[in-house]
Structure 1
């Protein structure tokens, strides 16, 4: 029997999942006895949007526990802007060089998912949003995708491997509908057989017009109907949704809600939030553009130094009472009444703080209303 092609956790922890040039230069430096004390900072010169969400730090802390380094970072769930350092690592370069690939992978991907989820959460306003996109990613990273989406503000996720504490959400696949002799038989079976904790949300677009299937599903006990109409059949999607709402109301089902899914974008969520009760969002969250972080040396043996295009010297980001920020050299006096955003997580290889998923989520949600016009 073959094996599924994934990289195991042991290989990542051992620094074996890395770009080959890190292994090569470490070998050269070992031969020459070169191993300077350095500080490296992680920043993003460009973001997909004016702001993003910092995520993935928990995996970085797990990876570097026991490695003789110091790590300071913004807490997970922090709102980030371009050119701000979000994380810094200090130590002997050879001791952590091979981990750069994994560190950036953790942060870039998770921050991209969390950022997309937060922007969609903001676009939805008071409408629930659920992450339905783990099938758009390799299953080996499903837990990461759902965790990042939850931190970004979604109300639930679909994948059963999501970390404990995240609500699971899902309706039914079209394949289920097609396994019964007719749609009424499917809906009735679901109403009878699903556990009492499962919402009676019925697909209403498998074979017939959405508004007619919606009314028939409501008659079979649906508390909500899901429209997952393929783009090739959509036409004017708003008109379809309005027709479904009209027919449900006029046939005596005003309390039956409308759940929309199927290739939704942030713009779709904003456009339909006034007539849709909840959204299932897939690729727009799971396939979100990564945050293009880079990890660069800013100090060697206590002296500021940086490559072209980067600012040398160790820095701190301070937040003012009105939410504005300023980035200054770490040695500079902190401005009055400001809060330093990069805080310790590892000291000499010992973890002094661990990111908590729900704290990170609350950090995002507490800031979203102030970002509405960003």
Structure 2
């Protein structure tokens, strides 16, 4: 037997220790550190800014997420960090976070920090766009099968921050103090071979506080199964879920209209309709007047990337800050001042804008010190508090 056949399988996952010690990095950062150490430049103090100079096509704003993880990576390093509050809606070019300190204190951490900020921001932003499209309808996040399992708590967190009403991941109870929610998979019905028996078994075994939502598109026509579920579970039935594959969908709106009509004329007007499978902003907008809740997975879990980058913008020489950066970026540390909802101005750090907001209030600075010499100096908000902050901003934007 060859060595390849004897090798045991493994999970390709970096540990928390690997990440915090800078081992989950690109090799060129490790080499850069070696060069700087050899040439006596490792203690050069810099200010490094995180920003997104562009957004995906059709995006006018994004939701800043991942700050807590970035701070967890930096904790204990001899650096100061200034940042927007996690959950802040931002526009291109605006600085989101600044690390201040000796470059070698965080050189190998750039890869990990950018990975956390980019990924969480991308997921939270897509979730926020879905939230706006759905209006007051419930949005459930079912996207864990779209990502590596090691990322499950992070993706659930970002989706919830962005505005999803609930998540399905079992680990979210431990990591996020969120009660996971979900319905039932097709596997349950297939193993029973009969949807009626599967629905009855779910009702008999699962705790009574879990809503009875029947999946109604496994073997028969959706309208037929929806009515069958209503007659089987009666007043216990909270809703029916459609997860019809694209090959069988036809006109999804017409299918939902047919189900709603049929349930109503048979006295089941209180039964909710939940739609999942391949949903995005456009398909949700087409259905939200008929559908009570949406289960959204891949479009949130695998969204367009918010390309956050890190650039040195100042170097300290002889106790004086020297603005410097590569071409295409704005040198110097900056502050963002905001008038609601999203009327922002970027100014050099230490300066203030001369104008007042339309409502007469003073523009509000968005970046604040969150870490001093490796110690977090602000109270970290709960995931529910971050979500409420995002929803408040989305409400203000929707009134424009």
Query: Normalising by the residue count of structure 2, what TM-score does the alignment of the two structures yield?
Result: 0.91
1:6 corresponding residue in structure 2: 13
1:236 corresponding residue in structure 2: 251
Q: Distance in 1 between matches of 2:223 and 2:338?
A: 51
- Measured after TM superposition, the shift of residue 190 of structure 1 is 1.4
Q: Distance in 2 between matches of 1:263 and 1:326?
A: 38
- Measured after TM superposition, the shift of residue 359 of structure 1 is 2.1
SS of aligned partner of 2:106: helix
Q: Distance in 1 between matches of 2:297 and 2:399?
A: 25
Q: Distance in 1 between matches of 2:130 and 2:223?
A: 27
Does the 8 Å contact 2:142/2:296 carry over to 1?
yes
SS of aligned partner of 1:310: coil
1:126-145 aligned within 5 A: 126-145=136-155
Q: Evaluate the alpha carbon distance shift between residue 116 and residue 339 of structure 1 in structure 2; reply closer, same or farther with a 3 A threshold.
A: same
Q: Distance in 1 between matches of 2:185 and 2:83?
A: 41
Does the 8 Å contact 1:57/1:355 carry over to 2?
no
Does the 8 Å contact 2:83/2:368 carry over to 1?
yes
Does the 8 Å contact 1:72/1:89 carry over to 2?
yes
Q: Distance in 1 between matches of 2:143 and 2:373?
A: 38
1:226 corresponding residue in structure 2: 241
Q: 1:184 aligns with which of 177, 182, 196?
A: 196
1:367 corresponding residue in structure 2: 393
Q: Distance in 1 between matches of 2:299 and 2:141?
A: 9
2:273 corresponding residue in structure 1: 258
Q: 2:367 aligns with which of 342, 350, 354?
A: 342
Q: Distance in 2 between matches of 1:321 and 1:53?
A: 15
Q: Distance in 2 between matches of 1:214 and 1:322?
A: 43
SS of aligned partner of 1:71: strand
Does the 8 Å contact 1:150/1:166 carry over to 2?
no
The answer to whether residue 41 in structure 2 is matched with residue 34 in structure 1 is yes
Q: What is the Cα-based RMSD across aligned positions, in Å?
A: 1.3
The answer to whether residue 133 in structure 2 is matched with residue 161 in structure 1 is no
Does the 8 Å contact 1:75/1:355 carry over to 2?
no
1:101 corresponding residue in structure 2: 111
1:196 corresponding residue in structure 2: 208
Runs of 4 or more, structure 1, over 6 Å off, are none
Q: Distance in 2 between matches of 1:88 and 1:293?
A: 12
Q: Distance in 1 between matches of 2:176 and 2:25?
A: 29
- Measured after TM superposition, the shift of residue 27 of structure 1 is 0.3
Q: Structure 2 regions of 5+ residues with no counterpart?
A: 1-7, 357-361
The CA deviation string for residues 7-54 of structure 1, in whole angstroms up to 9 with x for no partner, is 111100110010110001110110111131110100101112101100
Q: How many residues align?
A: 374
Q: Distance in 1 between matches of 2:341 and 2:298?
A: 35
- Measured after TM superposition, the shift of residue 65 of structure 1 is 0.8
The CA deviation string for residues 304-363 of structure 1, in whole angstroms up to 9 with x for no partner, is 011100010110001125641100001323445121100111111111024322221111
1:54 corresponding residue in structure 2: 64
Does the 8 Å contact 2:341/2:393 carry over to 1?
no
The answer to whether residue 184 in structure 2 is matched with residue 172 in structure 1 is yes
Q: Distance in 2 between matches of 1:46 and 1:128?
A: 30
Q: Distance in 2 between matches of 1:164 and 1:104?
A: 22
1:44 corresponding residue in structure 2: 52
The CA deviation string for residues 211-235 of structure 1, in whole angstroms up to 9 with x for no partner, is 0000001111132100000000001
1:333 corresponding residue in structure 2: 352
1:213 corresponding residue in structure 2: 225
The answer to whether residue 287 in structure 2 is matched with residue 275 in structure 1 is no
Q: Distance in 2 between matches of 1:274 and 1:130?
A: 17
Does the 8 Å contact 1:61/1:354 carry over to 2?
no
Q: Distance in 1 between matches of 2:385 and 2:305?
A: 22
